[in-house]
Structure 1
Amino acid sequence: MNISQTAETIDVRESILDNGQRIIAGKGFSAVGINEILTAAGVPKGSFYHYFGSKDAFGVALLEYYFEDYFAHMDAILNEPGLNMAQRLMGYWKFWQDNQLFYECQGKCLAVKLGAEVSDLSEPMRLALKQGTAGIIDRLACIIEGGAEDGSVAVDGTPMEVARSLYQLWMGASVMVKITRAPQPFETAITATRQMLHLTA
């Protein structure tokens, strides 16, 4: 395969993943058929099985693709220069809210959208979600540990315990935002987050 063919292969695969992420984030995994994704991507059906052996395999690739992009954005926020660790953490929660808006998530909120749906349907997808969410929690634990060292945060418990609690808090808040169609659960999560990190208002 020459360089141009390789680039074309990557472009087609990414187009399927990009369109799949956007559509599935709005409708869910089970409700979306392969044809709908391929039509949006402008790709013939045969191409799908060239890149993905099954819809299940596509789901795993989709989650890996999603988390790769998510980690890049998260790392940029958590490593922003000129800020202490507490400010970086609060910047991350702002990023979280922007990516979980109840009225239009545009493919950005895949973990929240698919977490409950696919965990009981697909073991490979559940494991992909588990690995991805573990990556988020690990990053949070590192920044919390750094905050404890620079004095910008204080926590009761280990950084990992607090990171897990915060992630679970925000996952729950995201679900409630979708149920209530209102941002109030995020306001509650912010207040609880500040309390857990012992931040002043």
Structure 2
Amino acid sequence: MTNVTNSARQTILDTAQLIVGRKGFSAVGLNEILQAAAVPKGSFYHYFNSKDAFGVVLLDHYFDNYAHGMQQLFNAPGLSGHAKLMRYWQLWIDNQTGCTDAGKCLAVKLGAEVSDLSEPMRLALQRGTARTIELLAEALEQGIEDGSVNVAQAPDRLAQRLYALWLGTSVMHKITRTSAPFDEALRLTRQLLGSPENTDVHTH
């Protein structure tokens, strides 16, 4: 029974991430999510007390998976710290410009929308982005240790600057619908990392 319960709960979360990633949080009604997930409405309140509480779980779930993906990338053998970081940013671009909604960054999509509407969801975003920045700082430290990254500021401070840069860049991409913001972000990121001359930025 527990597996069935966990499966239904997971189905709701996975379905919601697709829909919310495309439409935002406020614009999506619970009925739309539950119909897409083929889950009865009564079941929703068995797992979540309210839509607000559901939003918190959705964000926590999203950031758990996101952090796991970052750890896999940054722990991959055979790449310099610099190469791993640039691959991360290229994956960020692919995620924001791709044709599917499956991996859309909820931090980008919901950051401005829900932070003024829901304090619990704002705190979930704060927890998730802080964890992301912490993993970026650790990756910067790896690059400094292997000599592929040359920076003049503390890794934790630079990680905050880079994350803010790319979050803002993603919003500008939505506004302009051009690649120019990402092109500029890549240029500035290479500059901030003290990019080695022969490092290949693009990974595909």
Within a 5 Å distance, the mapping from 1:155-170 to structure 2 comes to: 155-170=151-166
2:52 pairs, out of 53, 56, 63, with 56
**Pair 1:174 & 2:132 matched:** no
**AA paired with 2:139?**
I
Q: Which ranges of structure 1 fall in alignment gaps of 5 or more residues?
A: none
Q: When the two structures are aligned, how many residues end up with a matched partner? A: 197
Per the normalisation by structure 2, the TM-score is 0.93
Identity among equivalent positions (%) equals 58
Asked whether the 8 Å contact 1:102–1:182 carries over to 2, the reply is no
Aligned match of 1:47: 43
C-alpha distance 141-84 of structure 1, shift in aligned 2 (>3 A)? same
- 1:156 aligns to what SS in structure 2? coil
Asked whether the 8 Å contact 2:148–2:196 carries over to 1, the reply is no
Asked whether the 8 Å contact 2:137–2:156 carries over to 1, the reply is yes
2:182 pairs, out of 186, 189, 193, with 186
Asked whether the 8 Å contact 1:24–1:107 carries over to 2, the reply is no
- Kindly indicate whether structure 1 or structure 2 has the higher relative contact order, using CA contacts under 8 Å at least 6 residues apart: 2
Asked whether the 8 Å contact 1:25–1:113 carries over to 2, the reply is yes
**AA paired with 2:180?**
Q
**AA paired with 2:111?**
G
Aligned match of 1:122: 118
Superposed structure 1 runs of 4+ greater than 6 Å apart: none
Task: Please state how far the C-alpha of 1:200 moved relative to its aligned partner.
Answer: 3.4
Asked whether the 8 Å contact 1:103–1:181 carries over to 2, the reply is no
Q: Which ranges of structure 2 fall in alignment gaps of 5 or more residues?
A: 198-204
- 1:100 aligns to what SS in structure 2? helix
Task: Please state how far the C-alpha of 1:193 moved relative to its aligned partner.
Answer: 0.2
- 2:185 aligns to what SS in structure 1? helix
Task: Please state how far the C-alpha of 1:104 moved relative to its aligned partner.
Answer: 4.2
Task: Please state how far the C-alpha of 1:68 moved relative to its aligned partner.
Answer: 1.0
- 2:5 aligns to what SS in structure 1? helix
